[in-house]
Amino acid sequence: MNIQDPKQIIKIVAIGPESTGKSTLCAALAKHFSTIWCKEYAREYLLEHGTDYSYQDLLTIAEGQLKLEDEATAEAIALHKQTGAQGLPILFLDTDMQVMKVWCEFVFGNCHPFILNKIVQRKYDGYLLCKPDLPWIKDELREYPDMETRDKLYHHYRDILINQSLPWYEVAGQDPGRSQSAIDWVSSLLR
C-alpha cells in the first residue's frame, strides 16, 4: 500500500449523502481497528449557528473540518504509540473536502478555491461511499429527505471516486452486514 500522508498514518474517508450512516460506520470501524475517528465539524457548527447558512459559512466549516482532522490525526498517532500497536495508525474520517465541494456546488453552484486547493493538498488512502439505501432519519440539520435528491448527491460522490485513483468501496445494506463489509474491505486494503 502506498501511504501518501507524510505523517505516516492511514486515512480512510466515509462520504455520501446525509443520513447514509457515515458516522455510525466510522464509529464501528474505529472500534474494530482500536483507533479513533474524526467527526463532521459541520454538525457542531450548524447546531451552534443555525441552519440558515451562507456560502461564506461553508468556507468556515471547511476550515473547521481541517482543524478537526489535524487534531484527530495527532490523537490517532499518539494513541497508536501509547498502545504499541503494529503497523501504521489508522484514522477514519466522517467527511473531507470532497464533501465540502459537493455541498458548495450543490447549494450555491460554486466552490471556494480554498476547498479545491485542499482537495489537491490533502492525501488519503481510501474512500467508503455510503449508499443511500438506509431509511431517512430526520434531525434538525438534515435537508434532503427525498430519494431523488439523495440519489443525485450519491451519484455526485460516485463520479468523484470513479474519476480518481484511490481505492474505494461502496457500503450498502443493513447492519451488521453493512459495517462488516466495510471492515472486510479496510482489512484487505491494509494487507
Does residue 5 lie within any of the structural domains? no
Residue at 78 is within a domain: yes
Kindly report the number of other CB atoms within 10 A of residue 165's CB atom: 4
What confidence tens digit (pLDDT) does each residue in 149-180 have? 999 999 999 999 999 999 999 999 999 999 99
What is the spatial distance between Cα 66 and Cα 136, in angstroms, rounded to a whole number?
A: 28
Structural domain total, the chain: 1
Q: What CATH number is given to the structural domain containing 49?
A: 3.40.50.300
Is residue 191 assigned to a domain? no
At 93, give phi and psi (nearest 5°): -120, 135
Query: Where in the sequence is the domain holding 30, given as residue range(s)?
Result: 10-186
pLDDT value of position 159: 97
Q: Model-level pTM? A: 0.92
Is residue 3 one of the residues assigned to a domain?
no
DSSP-assigned letter for residue 140: S
Residue 2 resides in a domain? no
Contact 172, 133 (CB under 8 A): yes
92 belongs to a structural domain: yes
If phi > 0 it is left, if psi is from -120 to 50 it is alpha, else beta; for residue 136 that is beta
Query: Please, is 111 exposed, middle or buried when counting C-beta atoms within 10 Å of its C-beta (0-12, 13-18, 19+)?
Result: buried
On whether residue 122 sits in a domain, the answer given is: yes
The b-or-e profile of 85-110 (16+ CB within 10 A means b, else e) is: eeebbbbbbbbbbbbbbbbbebeeee
Per the domain annotation, does 29 fall within a domain? Answer: yes
- Amino acid code (one letter) for 87: G
Residue type (1 letter), 167: P
- Tens digit of each residue's pLDDT (9 = 90 or more) over 34-57: 999 999 999 999 999 999 999 999
When the pLDDT of each residue in the chain is averaged and rounded to a whole number, the result is 92
